[in-house]
Structure 1
Amino acid sequence: MTTSTKKLSEAGVSIWLDDLSRERLTSGNLQQLIDEKDVVGVTTNPTIFAGALSNGAAYAEQVKELAAEGVDVDEAVFRITTDDVRDACDVFASIAEATQGVDGRVSIEVDPRLANDPEATATMARRLAETIDRPNVHIKIPATEAGLPSITETLAEGVSVNVTLIFSLERYRAVINAYMAGLEKALENGKDLSTIHSVASFFVSRVDSEVDKQLEAVGTDEALSLKSKAGLANARLAYQVYEEAIGTERWKRLESAGANVQRPLWASTGTKDPALPATLYVDGLVAPNTVNTMPEKTLDATATDAEITGDTITGTYAESNAHLDRLAALGIDYNDVVAKLESEGVEKFEASWAELLETVQTALDQAR
């Protein structure tokens, strides 16, 4: 029997798990998800690491060693998280090799406190890549305005990048430009473009969370009938932007020099509203050359309940544009929504990082 996750993979969607912990690595659970649920990559973020380390039994021995060394909390977090990511890269090494580095990727994010400092972000991205020292690592850099030059600089040095926290179509176009500029610089620097990979992480469910709140405030029958559709419409239009980008002469020149396409990645694909189908942002976002990074709950639902019927994106662009127009007619300002979501996204990652630092500091103090 062909499983839903297998069908999704065959439709051109790479399934990445949006979670990582040392327990997952040491118990064999990650390998099990690869074998049974077609997982071919992992993404992490400060929230995920904060959660993993708050259940810290698996980290106790390393924390004790770090405490004995006298390292500060920032260095302790750096070492713990890069060790987990390096080990995960090793678990996925055979997949990375079989797919020429397209899949088998593991993402780790730069310290979110650097989000508005392009130079510090690029420096941290280099340090992460050098420390992990695996060809299948992705360094995550937020797609803030300040993040764009960091993305170009990091790619120019031959480091693969997962561009995260994308909400708007305009910002996505800027991300594609930053990617191509990075590849052009990498070519000038004598880098082998075929070894550089990237995904552009377009957030989905958070768009619905914000828009639905505003639709409920409007409260009319028309407004309520538009709920829980903006996330899919926005992401589908992002795929249209991607298709336009790979049709340009600029891209074709890079491709002929060996460049890999920057794949759209659907992030924040767990539904926030319990009334919605758990696989809404899986079934509705099937198209070739994409990635869907799922929390385990969404992955489990996909394995049992997803209805994968082929491409559900191309051919929807007129309808998706019409949906955004209807929202605008009700007074919901697209630019305000995406700006708010980006700002909140950075704040959430900073809060999770602070929680992570506090958790590790407490553990270091206890070990000492």
Structure 2
Amino acid sequence: MKPTQKLHDLRQSLWLDNISREMLDKGVLKKYIDEYSITGLTSNPTIFDHAIARSHFYDHSILEYSHKGLEGEELFFQLAIEDLRRAADLFSPIYERTFGKDGWVSLEVSPLLAYDAQNTFLEAQRLHQVFQRPNLFIKIPGTKESLPAIEKSIFQGIPINVTLLFTPQHYLEAAEAYMRGLERRIAERLPLENVFSVASLFVSRWDKATMNRVGDSLRNQLGIAIAKKTYKAYRDVLESDRWKQLAQKKANAQLLLWASTGTKDPQASDILYVKNLVAPDTINTMPEETLLAFADHGQIGEVLPRDGGNADEIIAQYHQQGIRVDELGQLLQKEGAESFVNSWNDLLSSLKKKASLLRAF
């Protein structure tokens, strides 16, 4: 049995953290679904920037739409939605078979809105309506400023992928926003069974940030420790009386998703954040190279402990090295939001240049 299938059988979903028109046109995504148990897909501005700027697969569409007056964000979303609709259709049988528990694609609102709740909600609402497929998560960053947009979106029945979470506290805030949105639906006598969400915890950036600040004995351990603590918080939420009352009304669990699972340290295993983050009722969304590595030589470690295991001990050792984890978590979220803005600006710049060059010919 393939390692990817083994993970799937342990009730962990494998999603691909990548998309491109080339991948769709050449049948690569379908191959990953058929052969590597991929059941969903995530995207972000960096992924689309690489896909569009480094290939000619979008040239015809860019030229066509630019002649129609589309530019900037409007042009990007047109291209991205076309790709993601095709991917969503490939995942549709999984979505139907799992009654919406799996088979999703994700599209991010403009990163420029990370601290603007009202416009984030309006953009999430617009993208949800335009997409015309049921299996699209709108990605909203889990910044404090965006939490009201997440709650309101859930209240309106918009599927949300809460992104840019780095700490157990970030996760709990996302879970709180989700449950508040569901409770508002109950108050308005709206159904819960058709509302879905995931909460995306970024893992590898912890280790990248501390790589040169600790000795070899601690290197590449903080991200997994944070994930273990977050998994404990996740299980605590699902076993709480508050959640049980929602579940009795047919609410769907907001699944915990491991994001940023590509290994950043060239000295570490290329499947570090796959083999060490095995947990039922979670999702691991991985870059293409990580997926291929795991399919080739995957190893499955122990299932994450319900109680967090040695996470507190590891985090205490980082504290002894002068690393304040809570402060670092806030910094990582801030830097993550800024990096997405930079990628967004690069993406729009690439689109503008490409459209100008294509029109010149």
The CA deviation at 1:189 is: 3.8
Q: In the alignment, which of 334, 346, 360 is matched to residue 343 of structure 1?
A: 334
After the TM superposition, which of the residue ranges 185-194 and 288-297 deviates more from structure 2? 185-194
Q: TM-score, normalised by structure 1?
A: 0.95
Structure 1 alignment gaps of length 5 or more: 216-222
Alpha carbons 2:5, 2:37 under 8 Å: kept: yes
2:264 is matched with: 272
Task: Give the match for residue 173 of structure 1.
Answer: 172
Unaligned stretches of 5+ residues in structure 2 = none
1:318 and 1:294 map into 2 onto residues whose CA distance is 24
Query: Does residue 1:286 correspond to 2:278, yes or no?
Result: yes
1:132 match = 131
Task: After TM superposition, give the deviation of residue 236 of structure 1 in Å.
Answer: 0.8
Q: 1:20 to 1:191 in 2, by over 3 A?
A: farther
Partner of residue 334 from structure 1, selected from 316, 319, 325: 325
Alignment of 1:74-113 (within 5 A): 74-113=73-112
- Correspondent of 1:261 among 247, 253, 269: 253
Matched residue type, 1:356: L
Q: Secondary structure at the match of 1:366?
A: helix
Q: What RMSD, in angstroms, separates the aligned Cα atoms of the two structures?
A: 1.3
How far apart, in 2, do the equivalents of 1:203 and 1:101 lie? Answer: 24
* 3-state SS of 1:258 partner: coil
Q: Which of 357, 361, 364 is the matching residue for 2:352?
A: 361
The 8 Å contact of residues 200 and 262 in structure 1, kept in 2 or not, is answered as yes
In structure 2, the partner of 1:8 is 7
Which amino acid in structure 2 is aligned with residue 191 of structure 1? L
Match of 1:33 in 2: 32
Moved more, 314-323 or 110-119: 314-323
SS where residue 58 of structure 2 aligns? helix
Calculate percent identity across the aligned residue pairs.
39
Name whichever of 118-127 and 357-366 sits farther off. Answer: 357-366
Give the counterpart letter for 2:127 in structure 1. L
Q: How does 1:14-93 map to 2 (within 5 A)?
A: 14-93=13-92
- Whether the aligned pair in 2 keeps the contact of 1:108 and 1:138 (CA below 8 Å) is yes
| Map of 2:204 onto structure 1 | 205
Contact kept? 2:276, 2:301, Cα under 8 Å? no
Aligned to 1:219: none
Asked if the contact 1:42/1:106 (under 8 Å) is kept, the reply is yes
Shift of 1:367: 3.4
State the 1:20 CA deviation.
0.4
How many residues align? The count is 359
- Post-superposition Cα deviations, 1:61-109, rounded to whole Å, max 9, x if no partner, equal 1111111111232211111111111111111100100111111100000
Which position in structure 2 is the counterpart of 1:218?
Answer: none
Secondary structure at 1:141 match in 2: strand
Q: Flag the 1:280–1:95 CA change in 2: closer, same or farther, 3 A.
A: same
Hey, what's the Cα distance between the residues in 1 that align with 2:157 and 2:351?
Answer: 32
Q: Which moved more, 1:200-209 or 1:356-365?
A: 356-365
Aligned to 1:319: 310
For residue 198 of structure 1, report the CA deviation from its aligned partner.
1.0
CA–CA separation in structure 2 for the residues paired with 1:23 and 1:130:
26
Q: 1:305 — aligned with what? A: 297
Q: CA deviation at 1:114?
A: 0.5
- Give the deviation of 1:40 after TM superposition: 0.3
How far apart, CA to CA, are the structure 1 residues paired with 2:109 and 2:229?
Answer: 28
User: Contact 2:228–2:309 at 8 Å: present in 1 too?
Assistant: no
* Paired position in structure 2 for 1:157: 156
CA distance in 2, matches of 1:55, 1:252: 48
